[in-house]
Amino acid sequence: MKIIINASSMVPFYEQIKDQIKVLIRNGELKENDNLPSVRALSRELKISALTVKKAYDNLEREGFTITIHGKGTYVAAINTELLLEEQKKELERDLERAVQKGRSCGICDEDIRDLFELILKE
């Protein structure tokens, strides 16, 4: 499993880890019952605090992507296609919101942004 931390990003390390693992699950690179690296092993590999990795793993479990078995490790949970679809929609919504904000910061009015979205959707 390859996780890359961008130290210059404004996104906290635990969120970068969580988001990258979710992408690996959505893309099928991590499958149900696959074992994730231990918190200690991943923290050593990434050269970050074990507490940061633990926070990422705890968030993944809370969101239903993983299951942690005390003394055994953290595993990819059964794939819930509805959960995956909802996550993909949220990601798309965030991307679209960033695009709108970028357009506004460049001085493009909302009407022109709407026209651009309609043009893209027609393609």
Give the residue extent of every domain in the chain: 13-76, 81-122
Cβ-based neighbours of 99, under 8 Å, separated by 6 or more:
113
> pLDDT of 11-23, one tens digit each?
999 999 999 999 9
Burial (CB < 10 A; 0-12, 13-18, 19+), residue 42, is: buried
E-strand ranges in the chain read 66-69, 73-76
Residues 42, 43, 45: CA angle, nearest 5 degrees: 60
- Distance of alpha carbon 70 from alpha carbon 61, whole angstroms: 13
Residues of the chain with pLDDT under 70: none
Phi, psi angles (nearest 5°) of residue 106: -90, 0
Q: H-type helices in 27-73, by residue range? A: 39-46, 50-62
- Distance of alpha carbon 114 from alpha carbon 42, whole angstroms: 43
According to the model, what pLDDT value does residue 79 have? 77
Structure tokens at 84: 């995956």
> pLDDT of 17-45, one tens digit each?
999 999 999 888 999 999 999 999 999 99
Q: Which CATH class is domain 13-76?
A: mainly alpha
